[in-house]
């Protein structure tokens, strides 16, 4: 909480810093998005944001771009300034050397190398530090970073398109196309800023997807996502689009830790085609342990993973509380097919009261479709579980 009384301008400048921070989306991961605004004599003299991984942090960019001396000024920053040397030097030392009189921080850095230490160092240097200004907004902005740095697992976004009555494919398993071109364009933009795109082998076999980002504007491609296939027996066909394009698009297959016979031979052939294969443990039912795959991805600095199906994989991940956010594109269509697949399957509720409760964001109209964003409601699900 802030230790001094705050003014309306403090919130104004922090909102500006948060908007600046968003410009780093897709460029800075696995680092957090951070924005900074430098103010002196009620005028903005410097602005900056973390622009790319390994580059100068937001505070340094704001100080370097200052149009007047920062001495005696106030620095607004969306995340606690770092106090250790990583790919760049400590921001705290630069702030102290610049003579900044006051620092306003939105949220504390969850990284154990920094957590509270940066703020303490600034205060020891005689700098007034106010914290918690628009903290909720800052935490929302950097949810993927917070999860990755605290759990060593990536932030998971589930995505699917469905008809109004809940169908994601026809009785033959075909889904092209439920959603509109406008919705598919949004998906390509999303693919262009995540670290990985995950599907189960069933989806790969049914759709033969590319799982690449192909937005209308090339500038929307900020990262090259790794295509991730959950494929316990390495059944991904050698003539599939995923394998045929593996030389130029990183492709990763997660399979059972111990393969023998035909499955082992298939794995070796996939590796020869440029596909990376990683074995992970299975659960008591013989299915791949998806949590173990996320842990492995976290070790490889994946911070955002988009999961595009299939229903059993999504059901398993939702049941194990591995999904952080969902995007559902609802098309103005009714399939009316009792044999059509649904987006999430395999949870097997005993009662509707056990259903996973969600919290919706404001719906968004995309062409003829509706986009619903959701997060799992922690409070309601704790109540439903009987805790």
User: What are the catalytic residues?
Assistant: 59
* Residue indicated by tokens 């760049």: 88
90: left (phi over 0), alpha (psi -120 to 50) or beta: beta
Phi, psi dihedrals of residue 259, rounded to the nearest 5°:
-110, 145
Q: How many helices (H) and strands (E) does the chain have?
A: 13, 15
Helices 290-299 and 311-319, interaxial angle, to 10°?
80
DSSP letter at 359?
E
Map residue 226 onto helix, strand or coil. Answer: strand
Nearest to 326 by CA among 203, 156, 206, 194: 156
Give yes or no for a contact between 11 and 45, defined as CB atoms under 8 angstroms apart.
no
Q: How far apart are CA 229 and CA 364, in angstroms?
A: 30
Helices 117-124 and 91-98, interaxial angle, to 10°?
20
Burial class (CB in 10 A: 0-12, 13-18, 19+), 19: middle
Q: How far apart are CA 219 and CA 172, in angstroms?
A: 36
Q: How far apart are CA 326 and CA 37, in angstroms?
A: 32
Q: How far apart are CA 174 and CA 170, in angstroms?
A: 5
DSSP letter at 81?
P
Q: How far apart are CA 91 and CA 112, in angstroms?
A: 16
Cross-strand pairs, 282:
288
Structure tokens at 45: 């003299």
């Amino acid at each position: 909480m802030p230790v001094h009384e705050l003014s309306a301008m403090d919130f104004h400048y922090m909102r500006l810093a948060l908007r600046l921070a968003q410009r780093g989306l897709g460029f800075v991961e696995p680092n957090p998005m951070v924005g900074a605004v430098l103010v002196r004599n009620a005028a903005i003299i410097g602005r900056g944001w973390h622009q790319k991984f390994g580059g100068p942090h937001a505070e340094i960019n704001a100080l370097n771009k200052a149009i007047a001396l920062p001495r005696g000024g106030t620095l607004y920053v969306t995340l606690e300034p770092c106090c250790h040397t990583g790919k760049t030097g400590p921001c705290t030392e630069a702030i102290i050397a610049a003579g900044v009189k006051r620092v306003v921080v939105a949220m504390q850095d969850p990284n154990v190398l920094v957590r509270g230490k940066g703020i303490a160092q600034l205060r020891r240097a005689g700098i007034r530090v106010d914290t918690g200004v628009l903290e909720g907004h800052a935490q929302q902005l950097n949810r993927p970073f917070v999860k990755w740095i605290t759990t060593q697992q990536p932030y998971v976004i589930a995505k699917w398109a469905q008809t109004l009555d809940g169908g994601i494919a026809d009785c033959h398993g075909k889904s092209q196309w439920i959603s509109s071109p406008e919705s598919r364009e949004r998906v390509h933009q999303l693919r262009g800023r995540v670290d990985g795109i995950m599907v189960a082998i069933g989806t790969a076999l049914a759709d033969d997807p590319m799982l690449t980002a192909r937005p209308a504007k090339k500038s929307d491609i900020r990262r090259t996502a790794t295509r991730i296939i959950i494929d316990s027996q390495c059944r991904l066909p050698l003539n599939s689009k995923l394998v045929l394009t593996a030389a130029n698009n990183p492709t990763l297959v997660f399979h059972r830790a111990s393969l023998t016979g035909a499955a082992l031979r298939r794995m070796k052939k996939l590796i020869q085609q440029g596909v990376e294969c990683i074995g992970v443990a299975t659960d008591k039912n013989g299915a791949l342990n998806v949590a173990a795959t996320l842990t492995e991805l976290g070790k490889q600095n994946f911070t955002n993973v988009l999961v595009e199906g299939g229903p059993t994989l999504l059901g398993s991940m939702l049941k194990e509380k591995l999904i952080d956010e969902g995007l559902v594109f609802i098309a103005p269509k009714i399939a009316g097919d009792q044999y059509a697949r649904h987006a999430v399957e395999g949870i097997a509720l005993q009662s509707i009261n056990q259903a996973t409760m969600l919290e919706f964001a404001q719906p968004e109209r995309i062409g003829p479709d509706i986009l619903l964003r959701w997060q799992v409601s922690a409070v309601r699900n704790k109540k439903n579980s009987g805790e």
